[in-house]
Structure 1
Amino acid sequence: MLEVGTKAPAFELPDQNGTMHSLKDYKGKKVVLYFYPKDNTSGCTKQACGFSERYPQFTEKGAVVLGISKDSVASHKKFEEKNDLKFTILSDPDHKVIEAYDVWKEKKNYGKSYMGVVRTTYLIDEKGIIVRANDKVKAADDPQNMLDIL
């Protein structure tokens, strides 16, 4: 996981509509950048819906929410539409940004090891500095926890 106090790695990724976004687009705003394993799984859906329900409160506090997974743009579009998501989700199929933020790790499930995204949330300040980093994320609690931190 990246250290608090370090500069957040720059990135440019497409959203659920294919529109490109880069971190520099959000200079002057706080960014809640969360990484999740997969669209349409129970934990990831709870987390995304929680951020979506609270999105007006995040914007009131001068923050944007960006979700990132390795799913495709088309998968993200279906995920957005199915759950009526109100924020931007970015596609990183080559996991370049996922690796830059140090959330691509070995995981174990039913005794098998594989590489995957570890659910992690970063809070980046208006100058692009990481001010909070959490890799012990509980999907259902993360949106409210981040709102409380703001």
Structure 2
Amino acid sequence: MPATGDTAPDFTAPLANGDVDAITLSDRLDEEAPIVLAFFPAAFTGVCTDEMCTFQDRLSAFKDVDATVYGVSRDSPFTLNEFRDQNDLEFGLISDFNGEIIGDYDVSMDFADLGVYGVAKRSVFVVDSDGEITYSWVSDDPGVEPEYAEVEAAVDDAA
């Protein structure tokens, strides 16, 4: 699993932003860093909805330091656009439908009792303009949300 000080694994994936575009992390670093990658297991579930809505509620703190927030999940980009619409999310959601990003960041988890495999552990990575991870948090408990003030402080430090 990449940790603080490591180079963030690069990726290209569909971006649900009201439309469906492609996003390549390395192409966004100059203009959008620091970048917050907030991995979550699944759209339209209780804790995931709470988490993404909390990022939305705190979005101004990230914008104040020119940081960019992206949610990342295995959901399709079409599902993620509907999730954005229903929750009035102003930031983009990255569709890792094939699980490649989740694998590269080593944050895969299973809900074997439900027959669900390879979804994202709830985790947050902050990536600076050099592509370095300056903050990482990974939870083995899908019911635990990140410490948002800690993420904001990490973004302030990376800005």
TM-score by length of 1: 0.88
Residues in 2 aligned to 1:98 and 1:126: alpha-carbon distance in whole angstroms: 21
Does the residue aligned with 1:19 lie in a helix, a strand or coil? Answer: strand
Measure, in 1, the Cα distance between the counterparts of 2:106 and 2:40: 13
Gaps of 5+ in 1: none
Identify which of 38, 47, 50 aligns with 1:43: 47
Q: How much has 1:67 moved relative to structure 2?
A: 0.8
CA RMSD of aligned residues (A): 2.0
Counterpart residue number, 1:134: 137
Matched residue, 2:82: 78
Paired-residue identity, %? 28
Inter-partner Cα distance in structure 2 for 1:147 and 1:50: 12
What letter matches 1:25 in structure 2?
D
Q: Residue 73 of structure 2 contacts residue 119 of structure 2 at CA under 8 Å; is this kept in 1?
A: no
Q: Which residue of structure 2 aligns with residue 15 of structure 1?
A: 15
1:26 to 25, 28, 36: 28
The residue identity in structure 1 corresponding to 2:125 is: Y
Normalising by structure 2, what TM-score?
Answer: 0.84
* Equivalent residues of 1:47, 1:143 under 8 A apart: no
Aligned match of 2:148: 143
Structure 2 gaps of 5+ residues are: none
Per-residue CA shift, 1:17-51, capped at 9, x if unaligned? 21111112322310111110000111000110011
Alpha-carbon distance in 2 for matches of 1:79, 1:92: 15
TM-fit CA distance, 1:106: 4.5
Alignment coverage as a number of residue pairs: 148
